[in-house]
Chains A and B, each alone.
Chain A
Amino acid sequence: EIVLTQSPAILSLSPGERATLSCRASQSVSSNLAWYQQKPGQAPRLLIYDASNRATGIPARFSGSGSGTDFTLTISTLEPEDFAVYYCQQRSRWPITFGQGTRLDIK
C-alpha cells in the first residue's frame, strides 16, 4: 500500500498570505495525485487532479506541482473561505490511499 504523508499537520496563516502544503508518497505515484479541500460537515471537494491540473470551477489561486513522490499544493493568496482541511489522494496503485490531512487555520 502506498502511504501518503502530509506536512505540516497544522498550518496557521492569515488571509492574504501564501500557503504551501506538502504530500510525500512512499513510492512513486507518477502524476496520479489529487488534492481535496474539506470543510466541517461537508464532503471533500476536488481541487487538483493529476498533480497539477485545476478541476473545473476551481479558482486560479490554487495550484499543484510535483511528480513521483513529492507534491505541493499552493494557495497563492489566502481567502477567508480557504481555511479548511486539505487531503492528498493517489490513484496510481490499488488500494487508493489518502494522506492524513493538513489543517489550515486562521492565525
Chain B
Amino acid sequence: QVRLVQSGAEVKKPGASVKVSCTASGYTFTTYALLWVRQAPGQRPEWMGWINTGNGNTRYSLKFQDRLTISKDASASTTVMELSGLTSEDTAVYYCARVADSACGNSRCPWGQGTLVTVSS
C-alpha cells in the first residue's frame, strides 16, 4: 500500500529551524517526485517546494527559497524539509504529497498525515 508517513509534531522558538521528514512505502521512492505543502489554520494549502526523488533536483517557492531546504535519502525512501528563521507566521500543518499527475491513475497519490509545527516563544 502506497503511504507517506511524516515525523511528529514540533514546537519551536522564533528564529529556530525545524526539520520534518516524510518516508514513503509501497512503491519505488525514486520513481515519483514529491511536494511539500503547508496549511495554516483555516487557510488553503500553500505550496512550498518540490523534489525530484531520483536526481535530487529541487524547486522552491520564491516565498521560502531563502530559508527552505528539501533533501532526500533514497536509501531510506525519505525526504526531509528544513525551514529556518521560524516566526509565528510559520505555525501550520506541513505535508508531503505525491504530485497529482498521470501516474495517479495506476498508483495511489496520497499526502502524508501532516506534521503540526508550532512556533511560539
Is B100's CB under 8 angstroms from A87's CB?
Answer: no
CB distance from A3 to the nearest CB of B (A): 12
Q: Is B67 an interface residue (CB 8 A)?
A: no
Residues of A within 8 A of B (CB): 34, 36, 43-46, 49-50, 53-57, 87, 89, 91, 94-101
List residues of chain A with CB within 8 A of the CB of B99.
Answer: 91
Is B59's CB under 8 angstroms from A46's CB?
Answer: no
Residue interface bits B86-107, CB-to-A below 8 A is 1, else 0: 0000000001011111101111
Interface residues of B, CB < 8 Å — how many?
A: 27
Q: Is chain A's binding surface mostly helix, strand, loop or mixed?
A: loop
A4 to B77, CA, bound (A): 33
A46 to B114, CA, bound (A): 15
Is B108's CB under 8 angstroms from A57's CB?
Answer: yes
List residues of chain B with CB within 8 A of the CB of A91.
Answer: 99-101
A98-B112 contact in complex given A46-B100, A49-B104, A49-B105, C-beta closer than 8 Å: no
List residues of chain A with CB within 8 A of the CB of B114.
Answer: 43
A87 to B98, CA, bound (A): 16
Is A56's CB under 8 angstroms from B104's CB?
Answer: yes
A53 to B101, CA, bound (A): 10
With beta carbons under 8 angstroms apart, the residue of A43, A54, A99, A101 that contacts B111 is A43
A50-B44 contact in complex given A44-B111, A96-B35, A96-B50, C-beta closer than 8 Å: no
Is B109's CB under 8 angstroms from A95's CB?
Answer: no
Is A100's CB under 8 angstroms from B101's CB?
Answer: no
List residues of chain A with CB within 8 A of the CB of B47.
Answer: 95-98
With beta carbons under 8 angstroms apart, the residue of B62, B95, B100 that contacts A43 is B95
CB distance from B34 to the nearest CB of A (A): 12
List residues of chain B with CB within 8 A of the CB of A34.
Answer: 100
